[in-house]
Each structure stands twice: as structure tokens, then as C-alpha cells.
């Protein structure tokens, strides 16, 4: 059996690249090829000179040779990029195909077709620009692949028009580019769009075709803290356009970080309650500098079902990792859940995030203070979270602004929805874990209140300040 047919049977893009095209991908390219097998929508933000265009060409040829029928629109942000870089690379790798396979295709300057099915199996070049927003519209096939290079430079209107086809059954997409803008569809794919896009990050690494001194050259010319260095060396989005409370690079760094759990801290859960509609109920578990498990998220459940989910989780948790405090938002429908969980014996605290902050000179409301504590937790750069796409996308959604009074205000859920971003319910649950309890409640297990040092007593008092209607002393 020809090797390309084996690749089709196994749906193995990596095998196709190494055995059919005889290419030698770098480790980060291998990661992307494997990810393409398991994820229909792949977004990659990359530093300079990391082999983006080669990967796009490899995946394009793998798709067209292993799926019949298929249609592959290939787009870039400018006509020059598409003609001189993207399409040129596709033609180059087409010439690398084994002769019997290459003979089955007509390779032109704007179109590559399977000779016996030219209308049903092809790749076609499309310039996606503001003057041509319909570039990706009108494609239909049971196997549809969108290849988008330098997607950060594409206008939102292009994605809006193409969104129906891109999310249809049988559709796949690879979106890749330098992260030149912190706004727009490409940027949002790495934030609130992670429900659809599997996101990869390629910081600069030396490879056979790149200059070994490139990072040093960029640092000397622009500075290590410049946006040019962030984009072209770190592969990160610029900061000048982004007033996010928690930056994406801080969140992603916490995924891979290897740090020990902070000693002397208890487990605290944060619970954000929703009833029906688009909002979600979310439960996040934190111990010191670790989020210890992916968030539990559910929707379309009534309040008693929510009580059942939380209480079952609590009673099934081993004593060694049981929470000593569950901080739940008491506003609206959350009040009934808080009351019921307290009634059945859970260590639940009602937190009214709409109340005055404990530092009224710095924050408008308690919600602003808790989000800022979460920001500082990430900025300490000694924390760790699981690779939880729901939590990650929510954390990087809200923005902030300093008011004329000098106080900080976090963007409201309503304002987020106005700009098309869903309510950050999972991140709100995470922020609730900072509403007190992790010091004093843990100390309670081994000491009496009279033995507790003053800083732990202070947090116990602080926790009582956050608790809405809670009569039990946090130190027991």
C-alpha cells in the first residue's frame, strides 16, 4: 500500500509529512500535526521564523490527498502574502510529492485540483481583506478545510461572513500567524474563543533556517519589554492595546509551571450560581498557589439540582482535600443554594460581590477587589492551574479601568456581553476563592482561636465581613 493511503486510513498528518513529503518537522510543528488529528479547529500564534507557512502547506496537502471530495480555501491578509509566500510554499511542497501522486493534480498559480474531480476536490487562493470580505463565503463540502495565514491581520467582518461555513459539520480550520494585534478574531480565539479553537503557542526557538542571534538583535534594537519583542520573539500579543485584568501570557505560563503547593493553606472552593439561560454554574477548587482540578461547569439545572451536585462533590471528596470554606455568590438565585447547603452541613459562606470592598479607597466593589487579588495571584508567577479551557478563556475576558476617583473598576458582565463576550462565570468562581478562609479555616483544625496568630485572626474577621448573613465565626 502506498504510504499516503496508509496516512489516509490512519488520519495521520505527521506520518504523511515524514513518509510522503520526506520533510523533517521541528518539535513544535510535530505538536501541531498531532493536534490536527484530534482537533478540527487549530489556532497557532507564533514568533518570527518558526515554520508557519510550511506547516500550513503540509496540512493542506495532507487534507487534499486523504479526503475525497474536499474543498480548501487558502487565505492570507494581503494579496502579496498569499501569492509570494503562502501559495508559493504550497506549490513547492506539491513538487515534493511522489511522482505517481503528483501526477493526479494540476498545480496552478491560484488553484490546485484533483484532475478527475476538479470541481469537487481542490485548493483555491483567496485574498481575505476589508475590500473582499466575502473571500471565505460560499464553500460547501463534506470535507472543508480553511487555511488562514497571518490571521491576526484579517478583518473581523471576514470571519463573521465565514463563520457559518467554518463551524459546519465536516469543516476544519487552521489559523496561524504572528500575534500582531491584541484585538480582533484571531486574538479572541486564544481567549473566549477556546471553546471552538485548540490553541498552540510557538515562542521563538532556534531551528535550521533561523538566525541564532535573532532574539539578541531584537532586544538590542527594540528592548526586551517592547511589543516588537513580545510579538516576534515571545509570540505573545502586544500589551499596548490590551487592558485585560489578567493577561493571557500570565495564565498560559501558569499551566506549564512546576511549583509545589503552598504549605499551610487549606482548600477553598468558589461557587458561582446560575439558573437557566446562557450563564453557567461553576465550581473552582484552589489550595494556596494551585488550582487543584479543572472547573466543574453545568447549566440548565434548577437550584436543588445545583445543591445536589455541590453536596455530592463535597461528601465524596477525601478528608485530606475537603474544602474548609466554600465561598458562593449570594446575589440573586445564589442565596437559595447558599441557604440549602448551609442547612445540610457544608462549610458554605455567602459572598455579596456587589457590596463595598474591604478597601473602599482602592476598589468600587468587592467584585473588583476579588478580581484584582486574582490578578496579583497570577502576577506573582509562582502559581499553577490545569489546562482548563473554560477557566482560561474566562480569566482573560474582562478589562478594567481606573476611575477619576483613583479606584479600580472591573468591566461588568453586561458590558462584556455588549461586546460579544460571554459572562465569565468560571473565572468568577475562581475569584470567589479569594474571599477568605484559606488561612484561618485551615488553622482551625489544629489550634484554638486563642492560639491563632493575629494575621490569621485578621483573615477570619475579613471572611466574616465578606460572608452575607453568616453567623458562625470563621475560626469556629
Residue 462's pLDDT is 47
Q: How far apart are CA 33 and CA 27, in angstroms?
A: 10
Strand 325-329 to strand 111-114: parallel, antiparallel, or no bridges (unpaired)? unpaired
Are both 272 and 234 inside the same structural domain? no
Which DSSP category does 468 fall into? S
Which residue bears the cell 455567602? 350
Are both 234 and 306 inside the same structural domain? no
Which DSSP category does 314 fall into? H
DSSP 79-97: HHIIIIIIHHHHHHHHTTS
Write the CATH number for 200: 3.40.50.300
**In contact, 153 and 142? CB cutoff 8 Å:** no
Are both 278 and 312 inside the same structural domain? yes
Residue 183's pLDDT is 82
The answer as to whether 319 is a domain residue is yes
The answer as to whether 251 is a domain residue is no
Question: Would you say residue 11 has pLDDT above 90?
Answer: no
The answer as to whether 476 is a domain residue is no
**Residues 310-354 pLDDT 10s:** 999 999 999 989 999 999 998 888 889 999 999 999 999 999 999
Grid coordinates representing 317?
471528596
Are both 289 and 168 inside the same structural domain? no
Domain that holds residue 163: 3-239
Are both 80 and 159 inside the same structural domain? yes
Question: Would you say residue 393 has pLDDT above 60?
Answer: yes
Mean pLDDT of 239-256: 79
**In contact, 30 and 14? CB cutoff 8 Å:** yes
Residue 451's pLDDT is 36
**Residues 270-293 pLDDT 10s:** 999 986 666 789 999 999 999 999
Q: How far apart are CA 87 and CA 95, in angstroms?
A: 13
The band of 464, judged by pLDDT with boundaries at 50, 70 and 90, is very low
The answer as to whether 426 is a domain residue is yes
Q: How far apart are CA 325 and CA 343, in angstroms?
A: 15
Residue 459's pLDDT is 42
Grid coordinates representing 112?
490546485
The answer as to whether 245 is a domain residue is no
Are both 162 and 33 inside the same structural domain? yes
Mean pLDDT of 391-408: 86
Instruction: Go through the chain and tell me how many residues it has.
Output: 476
Mean pLDDT of 431-447: 66
Closest CA to 297 of 192, 435, 430: 430
**Residues 97-119 pLDDT 10s:** 999 999 999 999 999 999 999 99
Residue 197 or residue 9, greater confidence: 197
Write the CATH number for 446: 3.30.420.240
Percent of the chain whose predicted confidence (pLDDT) is above 90: 54
Residue 207's pLDDT is 87
The answer as to whether 475 is a domain residue is no
Q: How far apart are CA 229 and CA 45, in angstroms?
A: 14
Final residue belonging to a domain, choices 213, 239, 265: 239
Which DSSP category does 363 fall into? B
Which DSSP category does 428 fall into? H
Q: Which of 88-92, 226-230, 357-361 has the highest mean pLDDT?
A: 88-92
Mean pLDDT of the residues in the chain: 85
**Residues 347-373 pLDDT 10s:** 999 999 999 998 998 999 999 999 999
Question: Would you say residue 435 has pLDDT above 80?
Answer: yes
Closest CA to 425 of 257, 258, 252, 278: 278
Domain count, the chain: 2
Grid coordinates representing 310?
455541590
Are both 198 and 313 inside the same structural domain? no
Percent of the chain whose predicted confidence (pLDDT) is above 70: 87
**In contact, 472 and 464? CB cutoff 8 Å:** no
Grid coordinates representing 441?
479555616
Helix axes 303-316, 334-343, angle to 10 degrees: 40
Are both 93 and 133 inside the same structural domain? yes
The band of 35, judged by pLDDT with boundaries at 50, 70 and 90, is very high
The answer to whether the predicted template modeling score (pTM) of the entire model surpasses 0.75 is no
The answer as to whether 376 is a domain residue is yes
The answer as to whether 472 is a domain residue is no
Closest CA to 476 of 463, 466, 468: 463
Are both 310 and 422 inside the same structural domain? yes
Question: Would you say residue 159 has pLDDT above 70?
Answer: yes
Are both 228 and 314 inside the same structural domain? no
Final residue belonging to a domain, choices 214, 239, 264: 239
Are both 296 and 160 inside the same structural domain? no
Are both 187 and 321 inside the same structural domain? no
Peptide bond into 69 cis (omega under 30): yes
Amino acid at each position: 500500500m502506498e504510504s499516503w493511503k496508509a496516512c489516509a486510513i490512519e488520519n495521520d498528518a505527521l506520518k504523511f509529512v515524514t513518509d510522503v513529503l520526506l520533510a523533517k518537522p521541528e518539535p513544535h510543528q510535530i505538536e501541531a500535526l498531532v493536534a490536527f488529528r484530534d482537533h478540527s479547529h487549530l489556532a497557532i500564534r507564533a514568533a518570527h521564523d518558526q515554520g508557519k507557512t510550511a506547516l500550513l502547506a503540509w496540512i493542506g496537502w495532507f487534507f487534499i490527498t486523504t479526503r475525497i471530495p474536499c474543498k480548501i480555501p487558502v487565505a492570507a491578509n494581503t494579496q502579496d502574502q498569499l501569492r509570494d509566500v503562502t501559495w508559493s510554499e504550497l506549490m513547492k511542497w506539491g513538487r515534493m510529492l511522489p511522482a505517481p501522486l503528483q501526477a493526479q493534480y494540476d498545480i496552478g498559480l491560484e488553484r490546485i485540483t484533483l484532475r478527475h474531480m476538479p470541481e469537487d476536490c481542490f485548493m483555491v487562493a483567496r485574498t481575505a481583506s476589508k475590500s473582499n470580505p466575502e473571500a471565505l463565503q460560499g464553500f460547501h463540502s463534506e470535507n472543508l478545510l480553511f487555511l488562514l495565514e497571518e490571521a491576526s491581520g484579517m478583518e473581523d467582518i471576514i470571519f463573521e461572513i465565514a463563520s457559518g461555513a467554518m463551524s459546519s459539520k465536516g469543516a476544519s480550520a487552521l489559523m496561524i500567524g504572528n500575534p500582531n494585534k491584541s484585538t480582533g478574531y484571531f486574538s479572541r480565539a486564544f481567549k473566549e474563543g477556546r471553546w471552538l479553537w485548540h490553541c498552540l503557542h510557538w515562542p521563538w526557538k532556534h531551528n535550521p533556517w533561523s538566525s541564532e542571534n535573532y532574539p539578541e538583535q531584537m532586544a538590542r534594537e527594540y528592548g526586551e519589554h517592547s511589543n516588537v519583542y513580545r510579538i516576534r520573539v515571545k509570540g505573545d500579543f502586544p500589551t499596548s492595546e490590551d487592558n485585560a485584568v489578567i493577561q493571557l501570557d500570565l495564565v498560559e505560563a501558569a499551566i506549564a509551571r512546576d511549583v509545589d503547593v503552598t504549605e499551610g493553606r487549606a482548600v477553598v472552593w468558589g461557587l458561582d450560581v446560575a439558573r437557566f439561560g446562557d450563564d453557567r454554574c461553576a465550581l473552582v477548587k484552589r489550595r494556596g498557589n494551585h488550582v487543584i482540578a479543572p472547573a466543574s461547569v453545568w447549566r440548565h439545572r434548577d437550584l436543588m439540582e445545583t445543591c445536589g451536585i455541590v453536596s455530592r462533590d463535597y461528601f465524596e471528596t477525601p478528608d485530606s482535600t475537603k474544602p474548609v470554606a466554600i465561598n458562593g455568590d449570594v446575589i440573586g438565585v445564589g442565596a437559595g443554594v447558599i441557604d440549602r447547603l448551609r442547612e445540610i452541613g457544608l462549610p458554605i459562606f455567602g459572598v455579596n460581590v456587589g457590596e463595598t470592598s474591604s478597601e473602599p479607597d482602592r476598589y468600587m466593589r468587592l467584585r473588583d477587589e476579588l478580581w484584582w487579588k486574582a490578578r496579583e495571584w497570577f502576577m506573582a508567577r509562582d502559581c499553577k492551574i490545569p489546562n482548563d479551557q473554560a477557566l482560561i478563556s474566562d480569566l482573560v475576558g474582562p478589562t478594567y479601568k481606573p476611575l477619576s476617583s483613583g479606584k479600580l473598576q472591573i468591566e461588568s458582565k453586561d458590558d462584556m456581553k455588549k461586546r460579544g463576550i460571554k459572562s465569565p462565570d468560571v473565572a468568577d468562581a475562581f475569584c470567589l476563592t479569594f474571599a477568605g478562609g484559606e488561612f484561618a479555616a485551615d488553622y482551625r483544625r489544629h489550634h484554638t482561636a486563642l492560639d491563632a496568630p493575629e494575621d490569621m485572626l485578621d483573615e477570619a474577621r475579613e471572611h466574616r465581613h465578606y460572608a452575607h448573613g453568616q453567623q458562625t465565626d470563621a475560626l469556629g
